[in-house]
Amino acid sequence: MESLGFYQKLLEPLLPGLLGVRLVELDQRRVVGEMLVRPDLCTSGGILHGGAYMAFADTLGAVGTILNLPTGSRTTTTDSSTKFIGSAKVNTTVVGESTAIHRGRTTMIWQTSIRSSEGKLCALVTQTQLVLNGE
């Protein structure tokens, strides 16, 4: 398993880099990340845009899946379902924790809770990752 720094570097030139996603902890059952609620990640009213939550969660769940892939396999998200529960204010930091619900040969399911800096649940994202053979 590659190090946290390896995956962080991989994300930098991609969408998670643009959004400022920082990986904090990762193992094969759980991936934790942080994201600063910058003004340009918000929707009107100075709160985190729904799309930023979903992109953040999609990143964490995909990293978690990659940590479990057999050599020579790759993954793609097929389904993602989000419940928006609370709001996160501009200039605070949200924390996302993604845990494996199912790690099978064909599909993996990861669920991500995103919380405000005070620990309030803001969004719950459940995603299905398809495991594909070949590069």
Binding site for a copy of itself (CB under 8 A): 10, 13-19, 39-44, 49-52, 54-59, 62, 76-85, 87, 101-102, 104, 106-107, 109, 111, 121, 124, 126, 128, 130, 132
The burial class, CB within 10 Å (0-12 / 13-18 / 19+), for 1 is: exposed
DSSP character at residue 8: H
The answer to whether the beta carbons of residues 109 and 129 sit under 8 Å apart is yes
Q: Residue 4 or residue 130: which is nearer to a copy of itself going by CB?
A: 130
> Which residue type occupies 105?
R
Q: How far is the CB of 86 from a copy of itself (least distance, A)?
A: 8
CB of 11 to a copy of itself, least distance (A): 9
Instruction: Kindly state the smallest distance separating residue 7's Cβ from a copy of itself, in Å.
Output: 11
- Give CA separation, 108 vs 5, 19, 88, 94, 127, in Å: 24, 25, 28, 24, 8
Residue 33 CB, nearest distance to a copy of itself (Å)? Answer: 12
CB nearer to a copy of itself: pick between 24 and 130: 130
